[in-house]
Amino acid sequence: MKNDKILPVLFSVIPMEQIESVTWYGNRKGKDTDLFVVLKDNDDKYGGFFYEQLDIAFLSRSLVSPLIENLDPLITEPLLTGEGIFGSIDQDRESLLATRVHNKVPMYLLKRAETFYEWATSAAYDGRFPNALNILNFVYSYSLYAFRYWGGNDVVLFKDILSSKDGLWIREFRYKYKNSKHIHESEVLKAFTDTRKMLTDLRLIVGL
C-alpha cells in the first residue's frame, strides 16, 4: 500500500481521535502493511485484524508498560524495528531500551504461549484450521522467545528467532498459512503435536 494511503485507510476502521500512536513495521515489500496501534483508552484490550492490505495489531495504553516490562514481542518488535507514522513513539521506545531482561520474562512468555494454545484449540474445535495454524505460530514463536531469554541478557527480535534452527518450523508453517487455499487437518494436528512438545520442554526449564 502506498504511504499516503495507509493512515486514511486505518482511520476509516479506527477513528483517528481514538488513536495515540501508529507504528509501521515489518517487511515493507510484503503484500501486507504491518501496523502497531496504541489506543488512548485504558480498557486493557488488545487484538489484531486484517483490513484491505493492512495487518493491524492494537492495544490500549494501559497495556503498554506491562508488555514493555516483560519484553513481549507484540510491542518490542514494532518499537525497535518500526517507524512512527502518527503520534509519538519516542517515550515508549526509550522505556523499552531502558528495560533489562529479568528472570520473570520466560515465565511470562510461557503463559502467553499457553493462552495462545488455548485459543488455537478453540479454533480447531470449530473447524477453523487456517486460523488455528496461524495461532499455533504464535505459540511456537513465544516459546522460542522464552528459551532465548532464559539466561540471556539481550532483547530478542523476530529475525533472531527466524534465523535459528527452530525458526524453520515457523517459516514453513507461515508459508502454508499464507499460500495454501486449504489447510489439511493432518497439518494442524502435527502443529499441535510440535507446539505441545515445545511447551512441555519449556515448562521443565522455567520450573512449572
Q: pLDDT digits over 123-156, tens only?
A: 988 988 888 888 898 999 999 999 999 978 889 9
Task: Give the pLDDT confidence of 42-80 residue by residue, as tens digits.
Answer: 888 888 888 888 999 999 999 999 999 999 999 999 999
Grid coordinates standing for 68? 514493555
List every span in the chain annotated with CATH 3.30.460.10: 3-97
Task: Give the pLDDT confidence of 75-104 residue by residue, as tens digits.
Answer: 999 999 999 999 999 999 999 999 999 989
Q: Does domain 3-97 have CATH number 3.30.460.10?
A: yes
State the Cα–Cα distance between residues 56 and 39, nearest whole angstrom: 12
pLDDT of residue 37: 97
pLDDT of residue 1: 65
The beta-carbon contacts of 163-171 under 8 Å, at least 24 apart in sequence, are 166/140, 169/140, 169/194, 170/137, 170/140, 170/141, 170/144
Question: What is the third-level CATH fold of 105-206?
Answer: Four Helix Bundle (Hemerythrin (Met), subunit A) (1.20.120)
List every span in the chain annotated with CATH 1.20.120: 105-206
pTM of the model: 0.88
Assign 115 to helix, strand or coil: helix
Task: Give the pLDDT confidence of 152-178 residue by residue, as tens digits.
Answer: 888 999 998 888 888 787 877 776 666
State which H helix or E strand residue 19 sits in.
strand 19-25
Task: Give the pLDDT confidence of 2-51 residue by residue, as tens digits.
Answer: 777 899 999 999 999 999 999 999 877 767 899 999 999 888 888 888 88
pLDDT of residue 86: 95
Grid coordinates standing for 207? 520450573
pLDDT of residue 91: 95
pLDDT of 181 strictly over 70: no
Burial group, residue 31, by CB count within 10 angstroms (0-12, 13-18, 19+)? exposed
State which H helix or E strand residue 155 sits in.
none
User: Phi/psi of residue 55, each to 5°?
Assistant: -105, 100
